[in-house]
Amino acid sequence: MTISLICLPYAGGSAQVYKRWTNRLHPAVRLVPAELAGRGSRMGEPFYADAAEAVRDLLPLVLETALGSDSYALFGHSMGSLLGYEILHALREEGFPLPTTVFLSGRGAPHCEQEETRQTHMLPDGEFLEELKRLGGMPSELFQHQELLDMFMPILRADFKLVGEYEHRMRPPLPLRLTVLNGKDDDCVKGPLCEWERYATEGCELMLFEGGHFFLHERERDVVAVINKMLTEAPAPIYP
C-alpha cells in the first residue's frame, strides 16, 4: 500500500522546496509537492487574491490525490500550514475524505497568528528584505543579485499579502488529530503551540526540532524520519 504526501510550500517557495525529500522518504510514500500559482512551473499565472482563491485552486489536486491513492497525508509549512488548515475545512464541508495524517509546521494556531504580519507586504523594499533575512530560509544569493530579487520580490510580497490579509473564522473542530512541528528557536510563531488542540477533536501532537523557522531544511533528515514513521504506521482514511 502506498500513501501520497501532499506538501504545501511556505511564502516565496515552490514545489521544488520539497523535491529533495524524494530520496529520504519511505518507498511506500509518494511525494506530491503542490505548485502554487505564480512560481515554478506556474510562473506565468497571476498570484492568488487571497487564501480562499488559493484553496479553490489547490482543492482539485488534493481531491485527485485523495481519490487516486490508498491513503494520503497533508504537510504544510508556515503559509503552507495556513493553506492546509483551510483545505481541511473545504474538504470537510464538501464531504470528501480527510487525510490520514496532517502535519502543520512553523505556524501558530489561527487565533494566535491573527494580528501578525498584517503590514509586512507593504514595507519599503529595504525593510521588507530585512524582515526576510530575519526569518531566514532564503539563499544568500537572493540578496546579492538584483536579477533574482526582481524575480522573487513580487512572489514574496504576494504571499505575505495573502497571509497578512487572512481572516480566520471559528468553525467546529476538525474530526482528526494534528501533528504540529516547530523549531525550538523559532521566534516567528505566535502563541503557545498547544493552542492547536482546540482545532481538532483528537487534539494535537507537538514535535520540536533543533533550529529556527526553517528547521525543516536545517533538520531535514530528522523531519523526514518522523514523517516516514508516522505515515508507514498510518490508519485508514477518515470520512467526515
Q: What percent of the chain has pLDDT over 70?
A: 88
74, 49 Cβ separation under 8 angstroms: no
**Residue 8: domain span:** 3-110+170-232
Residue 120 resides in a domain: no
**Which residues face 72 on adjacent strands?**
4
Residue 184 resides in a domain: yes
Residue 134 resides in a domain: no
pLDDT at 131 over 80: no
Mean pLDDT of the chain: 88
Residue 151 resides in a domain: no
Residue 140 resides in a domain: no
Alpha-carbon dihedral of residues 10, 75, 69, 58, nearest 10 degrees? -40
Number of domains in the chain: 1
CA distances from 206 to 28, 103, 148, 169, 201 (A): 24, 10, 36, 23, 15
Q: Return the CATH number at 191.
A: 3.40.50.1820
Task: Give residue 115's pLDDT.
Answer: 59
Nearest C-alpha neighbor of 162 from the set 91, 234, 113, 196: 113
Q: Which of 151-160, 207-216, 219-228, 230-239 has the lowest mean pLDDT?
A: 230-239
CA triplet 214, 116, 11: central angle to 5 degrees? 40
Residue 149 resides in a domain: no
Identify the three-state secondary structure at position 73.
strand
Helix (H) or strand (E) holding 135: helix 125-135
pLDDT at 240 over 60: no
What mean pLDDT comes out for the span 197-225? 94
Residue 131 resides in a domain: no
34, 6 Cβ separation under 8 angstroms: yes
The pLDDT confidence band at residue 149, using thresholds 50, 70 and 90, is: confident
Residue 200 resides in a domain: yes
d(CA 31, CA 22): 7
pLDDT at 141 over 70: no
